[in-house]
Each structure stands twice: as C-alpha cells, then as structure tokens.
Chain A
Amino acid sequence: QKEVEQNSGPLSVPEGAIASLNCTYSDRGSQSFFWYRQYSGKSPELIMSIYSNGDKEDGRFTAQLNKASQYVSLLIRDSQPSDSATYLCAVNPGYSTLTFGKGTMLLVSP
C-alpha cells in the first residue's frame, strides 16, 4: 500500500520563526509532490509543487525533495499567524490519483 506519512502535530512556532514540515513516502517510483494548505472548515489550497531533487522557492515557502531518502519538506520563513493551518503532503505514485498524508497542524503564535 502506498503511504504518505506526516507528523500530525501540532507544530507550534512563534511569529517570525521558520516552520519546518516534513513528509515521507513509501513508493520510490513517485514523481510528483505537492503541498496543500487547509484552513479549518475550508478545502485544500495548493501551495507548492516539486518534481526534481533539491529546493524550490516561492516567496516565503521552500519545498525540498530528496528522492533517495524518500522525503519532501516544506519550510515557511517568517511565519505569520495567518499561516496557522493544516498542511497536507500529496504524492503521485505514478497513477492518476494523489496519495495524501493526514496533514500536520501548524500553529503560529503572535
């Protein structure tokens, strides 16, 4: 069974700090990786996608992918209280569907 693992949290960081969210996956053949943000009661919103090993930066967000170690991470710099949400890691194991982790809750305190 293809699995995507995330620490459920909550991960608590003070405002202005760097939040580091991690995700591991089981299928070595996975090619596409995504981070979604989900506020309570809302649907997921795409934050980042990454396909190659290394780092990908978009504003305050940096996605990191290491296929050899089968992990993908999301760094949020200068965290803001509005970043408080559940972050979902999603992996495409080669099929048309995505496999989602259960999400990590992030709490950014003022």
Chain B
Amino acid sequence: GAVVSQHPSRVICKSGTSVKIECRSLDFQATTMFWYRQFPKQSLMLMATSNEGSKATYEQGVEKDKFLINHASLTLSTLTVTSAHPEDSSFYICSARDRRGGSTDTQYFGPGTRLTVL
C-alpha cells in the first residue's frame, strides 16, 4: 500500500510555456500532499503544502503565482509551472501523507518529474 504516482515522469518544454504535473495517491486518500524541488546534488526543498479543498501553503521564497497548486480531490494534486524558464529546470517530487494504521505523518513520495526548460 501507500503508492504515489506522478505524471509525466519527464518533460521538456520551451521557455515561456506552462507545464502541469499530476500527483496521485493510488491506494489511499491523502488530505495533504507536498511538493518538493531538488536541484542536482542538493537536498530536497519543500515548495508548498497542498490541502484538499483549500489553498496551498507556500514556503518562503516560492512564488505562488508561478507555481500553481490545485488539490481538488483526496487523491489528486497538480502543480503547474507557469511561464517556465530555464532556471525552473529541476526534479519536482510530490509526496502524500498516509494516516492509515495509526501512523501520524508518514509521507510517501512519488517517482518525481524531471523538468527541462529550453
């Protein structure tokens, strides 16, 4: 159990275009999902916390108008990178929190989406 999928796994786009990344919890309901970004050889950086049915909470320094997050259902959150530029090229990873079985806050990660902006 506790499987999280992401789509697409890899995307290459031109500068100025928008890219949507989907994150799904496949076998559990996730009221909270998280979006991270990771640059090569660096640690995970939390971008935002996505709560089902409400606005996302963004970390300091993350532009909410550039990184649009929608968590419309208990199993799906989307991250849209608007007007992408080469500096947005990174590995974007979502995670979902599973509270089944009494665990309080275990997060399971999706496989990640590698974004390359030309």
A residues adjacent to B (C-beta < 8 A): 31-32, 34, 36, 41-46, 49, 51, 88, 90, 92, 96-98, 100-103
Contact of A97 (CB < 8 Å), options: B34, B43, B106? B34
> For B108, what are the chain A residues with a Cβ–Cβ distance below 8 Å?
46
Interface majority SS (helix, strand, loop, mixed), chain A: loop
B46 is an interface residue with CB less than 8 A from chain A? yes
> For A97, what are the chain B residues with a Cβ–Cβ distance below 8 Å?
34, 46, 49
The contact size tier of chain B is: 20 to 34
B32 is an interface residue with CB less than 8 A from chain A? yes
**Bound CA–CA A100/B103 (angstroms):** 18
> For A90, what are the chain B residues with a Cβ–Cβ distance below 8 Å?
107
Q: Report B39-69 residues with CB < 8 Å from chain A CB.
A: 42-44, 46, 49
B71 is an interface residue with CB less than 8 A from chain A? no
Whether the Cβ atoms of A49 and B43 lie closer than 8 Å is no
CB nearest to B31 among chain A residues? A96
Whether the Cβ atoms of B104 and A42 lie closer than 8 Å is no
**Bound CA–CA A42/B112 (angstroms):** 7
Further contacts, 8 of them, CB under 8 A, given A100-B44, A101-B43: A36-B109, A43-B112, A88-B44, A90-B107, A92-B104, A92-B105, A97-B34, A103-B43
CB nearest to B59 among chain A residues? A97
Whether the Cβ atoms of B106 and A42 lie closer than 8 Å is no
14 A-B Cβ contacts within 8 A? A32-B104, A42-B111, A42-B112, A43-B109, A43-B112, A44-B44, A44-B109, A46-B108, A46-B109, A49-B103, A49-B106, A88-B44, A96-B105, A102-B43
CB nearest to B45 among chain A residues? A100
Contact of A44 (CB < 8 Å), options: B42, B93, B105, B106? B93
User: What's the minimum C-beta distance from B74 to chain A, rounded to whole angstroms?
Assistant: 16
> For B34, what are the chain A residues with a Cβ–Cβ distance below 8 Å?
97
Whether the Cβ atoms of A45 and B106 lie closer than 8 Å is no
Whether the Cβ atoms of A96 and B44 lie closer than 8 Å is no
